[in-house]
Structure 1
Amino acid sequence: MVAERIVEIFEQAGVTGCLHVVDLDAGVSGGDGGPPGGVPGRPGSLREVAVRADEQVVIASIFKVLLVLEFARQVVAGQLDPRERVLVTEDDRLGGWGVAGCADDAEVSLRDLAYFAMSVSDNTAADLLLRRVGADVPSMLAAELGLPRTRVVGGPRQLVETMLADVGARTEADFARIFPTLPPERVRAMRMFDPAHTTSSTAREITRLLGLIWRDEAGPPEACAMVRGWMARQLFWTRLASGFPPGVRVAGKTGTLPGLHLEAGVAEYPDGGRYAIAVFARAPQLATRRIDVDLAMGEAARAAVEALRAG
């Protein structure tokens, strides 16, 4: 019944949604169609809530969780100095928040690039960090962690280059002029919306990734703790966090493209309950700011978590 309620929440917001929520201390079943089952010591407890949880979807900036995880692992291994300085110049800027929006050159540490990439989803910071970590490494890390359906196709710069090519623009200024004039069907045909041609995963694999991080199984405990800390400092609160009452700590990472509203995170309750959440919503409109969709994501997440807590 909770799955039906969640579908209803999505429909009321006019979106198609994918959701996976799992009790991090109870385990999960093998697929959407499997029985919820129970866990040792908690007989009959519901372990997961899944709505289209195995559908391959574009994850956009949620890939930054993998990126900063690999950065943290390399720091702990002594391969990178988190204090290493990076000069961010005009040629590096991709537009957006954080150092991406600076008018002048800025010098920051690698560690601060990771912070900006997670807290405000800074694309320039993520692009520079990816260069230092290694462009192919996030995909290799996904494979190492047992996430076979999580694929990373380049970073923010590659996404921008693909977008320019798909609309026939030479510069970002050209893109800003051309994109609003395109019919919706032309926009939907762009590669950035096709899970087969861009960075993508499933809701189930993303909650698995979060579970590995929260249980210190995605790398050294110090590295996992770094990622949890950065995710807890995300500034955007209108999606998952909006659904939970005061006292529930929500750490998350958003992803946004025209018509796509995404977030993955973990809700931690004062009684120690921990729940990994992935909610992906696709709207027919191409707007990036839809507060009603964001709030519906939080409502759906809380409905799923409450069902797990009620057993």
Structure 2
Amino acid sequence: MREAASPSNAPLGDGSTVQIAMGQTTAGHAVAGPAVTRRASARITAAFADAGVTGQLHALDIDTGASVSVAATQLAATSSLHKVCLLAAFYREAAAGRLDRTRQIDITAAERTPGLSGIAVMRDAVRLSLRDLATLVVAVSDNAAADILWREVGFATVNRTMAELGLSDTVAVHSMADIRDALRAHPNLADPAALADVSVLSPTQTNRSTPRQMAELFAAVWRDEVCTGDLGEELRAVLGGQAWTHRMSSGFPFDDVRVSGKTATLPTLRHEAGVVEYPDGGRYAVAVFTRAASTAAVLPAADAVIGTAARLAVDALRSL
């Protein structure tokens, strides 16, 4: 049985803060907890550096509150990761009876936000329920499906939902079409100097959150604090349907460990947040945000370090 935890802070050599929450079951835990998490945080920081990225992380034991953090309260642009906020609001509205998630809508090819997957790449009209659009939003990060849901739910509702959940730093500003248009306005995205002027890379100007709050959002979903019953189960199932396994899932290559989550990608930015579930009942919400020095679109090491960092953090929490 895992017991409640209380936090303490320990400084890292790079000036960031590691949030440590340690189990209080025995005096041994009280002594061992900080040492374990400090070692993990140092290894995570080194892994980020080896991969050529600046990284942030928050990992949270959903049942005890124990946590490991690296720069977890610093705001960052979230891009597609904010689709999780959209779906949380969508299901919360459905639970309140203000939205029918099974309603079918017709979607023409002309009204779709361009993208690389899902209905964004289809050539003909389609008819889907709102909840099937939500499935595509996670499964293949479908930008067209996401923007239809943004119109149905509304930015104000999404932001109100985050505030109700205590996630006041998690704010939606742009649709996926807005983000695409902002990127297309800058033709020299391969030039690092040009990125300073890209609004959707600046957390003060675009969709934003922190690793701590994104992990807390996933924890809220798994604790039934967003919605309960069948709707809560359905939301978790949707978040478990992501096709991409090259980031967080790569750190947990086991048949009996389940990883649910959502990625986000912008020039130099690669993020993922989700939940890692072990067969013994352990549940860990993890958010890893990275920014690469290179502007290259393909950086396997930057993708893989998200899984490495998540695994190091979860292993530390499981050893407390």
Percent pairwise identity: 40
Q: How many residues align?
A: 280
In the other structure, the counterpart of 2:263 is: 254
Q: Which moves more between the two structures, 71-80 or 202-211?
A: 71-80
The reply on whether 1:24 has 2:62 as its aligned counterpart is yes
The structure whose residues are more often strand, as a share, is 2
Question: How many angstroms apart in 2 are the aligned matches of 1:221 and 1:211?
Answer: 16
The reply on whether 1:278 has 2:287 as its aligned counterpart is yes
- SS of the aligned residue for 1:136 comes to helix
145, 150, 169: which one pairs with 1:125? 145
Kindly provide the amino acid, as one letter, of the partner of residue 272 in structure 1: G
20, 27, 40: which one pairs with 1:2? 40
Question: How many angstroms apart in 2 are the aligned matches of 1:188 and 1:269?
Answer: 41
In the other structure, the counterpart of 1:43 is: none
Kindly provide the amino acid, as one letter, of the partner of residue 51 in structure 2: A
Where in structure 2 are the equivalents of 1:1-311 lying within 5 Å?
1-27=39-65, 47-89=66-108, 90-164=110-184, 166-167=185-186, 178-179=187-188, 183-246=191-254, 247-311=256-320
**How far is the alpha carbon of 1:55 from its aligned partner?**
0.8
Deviations 1:134-193 (A, max 9, x none): 2321111111110111111032122223334x43xxxxxxxxxx345x632112320011
Question: How many angstroms apart in 2 are the aligned matches of 1:220 and 1:272?
Answer: 19
- SS of the aligned residue for 2:224 comes to coil
Question: How many angstroms apart in 2 are the aligned matches of 1:63 and 1:237?
Answer: 19
Q: Which moves more between the two structures, 277-286 or 84-93?
A: 84-93
**How far is the alpha carbon of 1:78 from its aligned partner?**
2.7
User: Structure 2 length normalisation: TM-score?
Assistant: 0.84
In the other structure, the counterpart of 2:33 is: none
Q: Which moves more between the two structures, 104-113 or 269-278?
A: 104-113
**How far is the alpha carbon of 1:228 from its aligned partner?**
0.9
- SS of the aligned residue for 1:114 comes to helix
**How far is the alpha carbon of 1:128 from its aligned partner?**
0.3
Question: How many angstroms apart in 1 are the aligned matches of 2:132 and 2:40?
Answer: 40
In structure 2, relative to structure 1, the CA distance for the partners of 1:148 and 1:135 (3 Å cut) is closer
Structure 2, unaligned stretches of length 5 or more? 1-38
Question: How many angstroms apart in 2 are the aligned matches of 1:272 and 1:288?
Answer: 37
Kindly provide the amino acid, as one letter, of the partner of residue 195 in structure 2: V
Structure 1, unaligned stretches of length 5 or more? 28-46, 168-177
Question: How many angstroms apart in 2 are the aligned matches of 1:125 and 1:144?
Answer: 25
Kindly provide the amino acid, as one letter, of the partner of residue 74 in structure 2: E
CA RMSD of aligned residues (A): 1.5
Equivalent residues of 1:19, 1:52 under 8 A apart = yes
